[in-house]
Amino acid sequence: MAQKDIVHKVPLHTLKSTDEVRDLYDDWSKNDKYNQDMIDWKYSGPKEVVSAFLPHAPNKGIKILDAGCGSGLVGEELSKEGYSIIHGADIAAKLMNSIPAGIYQALHNVDLNKPINFTDDFFDAVLCVGTFTFGHVKAKALSEFTRIVKSGGIIGFTINEGVFLDHGFKSELDHLVIQKKITQLDFYLSDYLSSKGVKAWLGIYQVN
Protein backbone atom coordinates (compact mmCIF):
# COMPACT_ATOMS: atom_id res chain seq x y z
CA MET A 1 0.00 0.00 0.00
CA ALA A 2 2.79 2.43 0.93
CA GLN A 3 3.97 3.24 -2.60
CA LYS A 4 0.62 3.51 -4.30
CA ASP A 5 -0.99 5.95 -1.90
CA ILE A 6 1.60 8.71 -2.42
CA VAL A 7 -0.05 11.88 -3.72
CA HIS A 8 1.62 15.26 -4.15
CA LYS A 9 4.78 13.92 -2.44
CA VAL A 10 2.92 12.82 0.72
CA PRO A 11 1.88 9.23 1.57
CA LEU A 12 -1.84 9.57 2.30
CA HIS A 13 -1.81 7.06 5.14
CA THR A 14 0.59 9.30 7.14
CA LEU A 15 -1.89 12.20 7.24
CA LYS A 16 -2.98 12.52 10.86
CA SER A 17 -5.17 15.59 11.10
CA THR A 18 -7.73 17.48 9.07
CA ASP A 19 -5.36 20.50 9.11
CA GLU A 20 -2.66 18.42 7.39
CA VAL A 21 -5.16 17.25 4.76
CA ARG A 22 -6.37 20.81 4.14
CA ASP A 23 -2.79 22.12 3.82
CA LEU A 24 -1.89 19.31 1.40
CA TYR A 25 -4.75 20.20 -0.94
CA ASP A 26 -4.36 23.96 -0.63
CA ASP A 27 -0.68 23.57 -1.57
CA TRP A 28 -1.60 21.19 -4.40
CA SER A 29 -3.89 23.85 -5.89
CA LYS A 30 -0.92 26.14 -6.74
CA ASN A 31 -0.30 26.66 -10.47
CA ASP A 32 -3.26 24.39 -11.24
CA LYS A 33 -1.07 21.42 -10.22
CA TYR A 34 -3.95 19.32 -8.81
CA ASN A 35 -5.94 19.52 -12.05
CA GLN A 36 -2.86 18.85 -14.17
CA ASP A 37 -1.92 15.81 -12.06
CA MET A 38 -5.45 14.42 -12.38
CA ILE A 39 -5.19 14.72 -16.19
CA ASP A 40 -1.69 13.18 -16.23
CA TRP A 41 -2.80 10.34 -13.92
CA LYS A 42 -5.94 9.72 -16.00
CA TYR A 43 -8.08 10.05 -12.87
CA SER A 44 -11.50 8.74 -13.90
CA GLY A 45 -13.44 8.92 -10.58
CA PRO A 46 -15.62 11.99 -11.37
CA LYS A 47 -16.65 10.76 -14.83
CA GLU A 48 -17.30 7.21 -13.61
CA VAL A 49 -19.53 8.31 -10.72
CA VAL A 50 -21.50 10.83 -12.78
CA SER A 51 -22.03 8.17 -15.49
CA ALA A 52 -23.32 5.72 -12.87
CA PHE A 53 -25.52 8.44 -11.31
CA LEU A 54 -27.18 9.54 -14.57
CA PRO A 55 -29.69 6.67 -15.07
CA HIS A 56 -30.97 7.16 -11.51
CA ALA A 57 -31.39 10.95 -11.76
CA PRO A 58 -33.25 11.83 -14.97
CA ASN A 59 -34.49 15.18 -13.58
CA LYS A 60 -31.70 17.70 -14.28
CA GLY A 61 -33.33 20.29 -11.96
CA ILE A 62 -32.51 18.44 -8.74
CA LYS A 63 -30.36 19.93 -5.95
CA ILE A 64 -27.03 18.09 -5.63
CA LEU A 65 -24.24 18.36 -3.04
CA ASP A 66 -20.72 17.57 -4.29
CA ALA A 67 -19.16 16.58 -0.96
CA GLY A 68 -15.37 17.03 -1.05
CA CYS A 69 -15.64 18.99 -4.30
CA GLY A 70 -11.95 19.99 -4.43
CA SER A 71 -11.25 21.79 -7.72
CA GLY A 72 -14.74 21.03 -9.06
CA LEU A 73 -14.12 18.05 -11.34
CA VAL A 74 -17.40 16.35 -10.34
CA GLY A 75 -19.32 19.61 -10.78
CA GLU A 76 -17.85 19.96 -14.27
CA GLU A 77 -19.07 16.49 -15.23
CA LEU A 78 -22.53 17.17 -13.75
CA SER A 79 -22.71 20.50 -15.53
CA LYS A 80 -21.81 18.88 -18.88
CA GLU A 81 -24.78 16.54 -18.34
CA GLY A 82 -27.14 19.47 -17.76
CA TYR A 83 -27.45 19.57 -13.96
CA SER A 84 -27.52 23.17 -12.79
CA ILE A 85 -28.26 23.25 -9.05
CA ILE A 86 -25.00 22.07 -7.53
CA HIS A 87 -23.50 22.93 -4.16
CA GLY A 88 -19.87 22.13 -3.33
CA ALA A 89 -18.38 21.46 0.11
CA ASP A 90 -14.72 21.05 1.01
CA ILE A 91 -12.20 21.73 3.76
CA ALA A 92 -9.61 23.22 1.37
CA ALA A 93 -10.69 26.81 0.62
CA LYS A 94 -7.76 27.57 -1.69
CA LEU A 95 -8.48 24.52 -3.84
CA MET A 96 -12.14 25.58 -4.03
CA ASN A 97 -11.01 29.06 -5.11
CA SER A 98 -9.65 27.47 -8.28
CA ILE A 99 -13.12 26.26 -9.34
CA PRO A 100 -14.26 27.92 -12.57
CA ALA A 101 -17.23 30.28 -12.13
CA GLY A 102 -20.72 29.20 -13.13
CA ILE A 103 -20.68 25.53 -12.13
CA TYR A 104 -21.72 25.65 -8.45
CA GLN A 105 -24.58 27.68 -7.00
CA ALA A 106 -22.85 27.75 -3.63
CA LEU A 107 -19.54 26.63 -2.09
CA HIS A 108 -19.27 25.69 1.58
CA ASN A 109 -15.92 25.58 3.39
CA VAL A 110 -16.68 22.80 5.89
CA ASP A 111 -15.19 19.77 7.63
CA LEU A 112 -17.29 16.80 6.51
CA ASN A 113 -16.15 14.80 9.54
CA LYS A 114 -18.37 17.06 11.65
CA PRO A 115 -22.17 17.31 11.56
CA ILE A 116 -23.04 19.14 8.34
CA ASN A 117 -24.96 22.39 8.64
CA PHE A 118 -27.81 21.50 6.29
CA THR A 119 -31.35 20.73 7.39
CA ASP A 120 -32.77 17.21 6.98
CA ASP A 121 -33.80 16.37 3.38
CA PHE A 122 -32.12 19.51 1.98
CA PHE A 123 -30.66 17.78 -1.11
CA ASP A 124 -31.95 15.40 -3.76
CA ALA A 125 -28.52 13.83 -4.10
CA VAL A 126 -25.02 13.79 -2.63
CA LEU A 127 -22.00 12.73 -4.66
CA CYS A 128 -18.69 12.18 -2.88
CA VAL A 129 -15.78 11.27 -5.13
CA GLY A 130 -12.15 10.70 -4.13
CA THR A 131 -12.87 11.81 -0.60
CA PHE A 132 -13.41 8.51 1.20
CA THR A 133 -9.73 7.60 1.40
CA PHE A 134 -6.85 7.48 3.88
CA GLY A 135 -6.99 10.28 6.48
CA HIS A 136 -9.81 12.15 4.68
CA VAL A 137 -13.53 11.86 5.37
CA LYS A 138 -14.58 9.01 7.63
CA ALA A 139 -17.34 6.43 7.18
CA LYS A 140 -19.67 8.20 9.63
CA ALA A 141 -20.27 10.90 7.01
CA LEU A 142 -22.37 8.36 5.09
CA SER A 143 -24.96 8.59 7.84
CA GLU A 144 -24.97 12.41 7.61
CA PHE A 145 -25.47 12.13 3.85
CA THR A 146 -28.57 9.98 4.40
CA ARG A 147 -29.91 12.66 6.76
CA ILE A 148 -29.51 15.57 4.34
CA VAL A 149 -30.82 13.68 1.27
CA LYS A 150 -34.57 13.37 0.96
CA SER A 151 -36.39 10.06 0.65
CA GLY A 152 -36.09 8.72 -2.89
CA GLY A 153 -32.87 10.69 -3.42
CA ILE A 154 -29.46 9.33 -4.35
CA ILE A 155 -26.06 8.99 -2.69
CA GLY A 156 -23.14 8.19 -4.99
CA PHE A 157 -19.51 7.79 -3.97
CA THR A 158 -16.14 6.18 -4.36
CA ILE A 159 -14.35 4.46 -1.49
CA ASN A 160 -10.64 3.77 -1.99
CA GLU A 161 -10.28 -0.02 -1.95
CA GLY A 162 -7.53 0.31 0.69
CA VAL A 163 -9.87 1.75 3.33
CA PHE A 164 -13.08 -0.11 2.51
CA LEU A 165 -12.76 -2.93 5.03
CA ASP A 166 -10.21 -1.67 7.55
CA HIS A 167 -11.61 1.83 8.04
CA GLY A 168 -15.21 0.89 8.71
CA PHE A 169 -16.82 1.74 5.35
CA LYS A 170 -18.18 -1.74 4.66
CA SER A 171 -19.64 -2.03 8.13
CA GLU A 172 -21.20 1.46 7.97
CA LEU A 173 -22.81 0.67 4.60
CA ASP A 174 -24.04 -2.72 5.84
CA HIS A 175 -25.46 -1.03 8.93
CA LEU A 176 -27.36 1.60 6.90
CA VAL A 177 -28.75 -1.09 4.58
CA ILE A 178 -29.84 -3.34 7.47
CA GLN A 179 -31.49 -0.32 9.13
CA LYS A 180 -33.33 0.18 5.79
CA LYS A 181 -32.01 3.75 5.55
CA ILE A 182 -30.52 3.12 2.10
CA THR A 183 -30.89 0.58 -0.72
CA GLN A 184 -28.06 -0.44 -3.01
CA LEU A 185 -28.63 0.34 -6.70
CA ASP A 186 -25.12 -0.20 -8.03
CA PHE A 187 -21.84 -1.28 -6.46
CA TYR A 188 -18.62 -2.35 -8.17
CA LEU A 189 -14.86 -1.88 -8.23
CA SER A 190 -14.19 1.08 -10.53
CA ASP A 191 -11.02 2.07 -12.42
CA TYR A 192 -10.68 5.31 -10.42
CA LEU A 193 -6.89 5.88 -10.52
CA SER A 194 -5.80 2.87 -12.49
CA SER A 195 -2.61 4.54 -13.77
CA LYS A 196 -1.41 4.41 -10.13
CA GLY A 197 -2.76 0.90 -9.53
CA VAL A 198 -5.46 2.24 -7.20
CA LYS A 199 -9.09 1.18 -7.60
CA ALA A 200 -12.15 2.27 -5.65
CA TRP A 201 -15.54 0.83 -4.81
CA LEU A 202 -18.18 2.86 -6.61
CA GLY A 203 -21.60 2.88 -4.94
CA ILE A 204 -24.95 4.33 -5.94
CA TYR A 205 -27.61 4.07 -3.21
CA GLN A 206 -31.17 5.27 -2.86
CA VAL A 207 -32.22 6.92 0.39
CA ASN A 208 -35.39 5.35 1.82
Ligand X SMILES: C[S@@+](CC[C@H](N)C(=O)[O-])C[C@H]1O[C@@H](n2cnc3c(N)ncnc32)[C@H](O)[C@@H]1O
Among 23, 27, 111, 161, the residue binding ligand X under the rule CB under 6 A is 111
Say whether residue 12 binds ligand X (CB under 6 A).
no
Say whether residue 92 binds ligand X (CB under 6 A).
yes
Contact code string over 161-180 relative to ligand X, x by CB under 6 A? --------------------
Q: Are strands 198-207 and 182-193 parallel, antiparallel or unpaired?
A: antiparallel
Say whether residue 201 binds ligand X (CB under 6 A).
no
Whole-number minimum distance, CB 152 to ligand X, in Å? Answer: 24
What is the distance of C-alpha 73 from the center of its chain? 10
Q: Which residue in 49, 68, 71 sits closest to 158, CA to CA?
A: 49
Whole-number minimum distance, CB 178 to ligand X, in Å? Answer: 26
Instruction: Please identify, among the stretches 63-71, 146-154, 174-182, 189-197, the one whose residues bind ligand X according to the rule CB under 6 A.
Output: 63-71
In sequence order, what are the beta bridge partners of 204? Answer: 156, 186
Q: Which residue in 172, 130, 134, 165 sits closest to 1, CA to CA?
A: 134
> Are 50 and 30 within 8 A, CB to CB?
no
Whole-number minimum distance, CB 144 to ligand X, in Å? Answer: 11
Total of chain residues touching ligand X, rule CB under 6 A? 22
d(CA 130, CA 128): 7
Among 12, 52, 64, 95, the residue binding ligand X under the rule CB under 6 A is 95
